[in-house]
Amino acid sequence: MASFKEQINANYPVLVDFYATWCGPCKMQTPVLEELSKELTVGKVLKIDIDKNQAAAQAYKIQAVPTLIIFKHGKEVWRKSGMVPKHELRQIMEKLS
């Protein structure tokens, strides 16, 4: 399996969900991201558990969960904390692809 760094270095948008298992809004965001992942023609959705990956959470300065970050070519191109509706995420992913 490709490393996190290899995956976010893709030439298509990669949406990363920084979440925690104990977080209510994270649990509500999960089905939205699962649906989005199935619908995307270009791009990828990854999930990072901040409790299991504290170094990644610190490296990307995650202050709240869920925090969604879209990377392209290894660079952060979009970030938002809190719940984000699927239509908004799809629009952004399509625009960046």
Q: How far apart are CA 44 and CA 2, in angstroms?
A: 13
| Closest to 29 measured CA to CA, from 93, 94, 81 | 81
User: Does residue 83 have an active-site annotation?
Assistant: no
Contacts of 83 (CB under 8 A, 6+ apart): 25, 28, 29, 32, 66
Catalytic residue selected from 8, 14, 20, 26: 26
Q: C-alpha 4: how far from its chain's center?
A: 12
User: Does residue 95 have an active-site annotation?
Assistant: no
Catalytic residue selected from 23, 46, 56, 96: 23
Active site residues: 23, 26
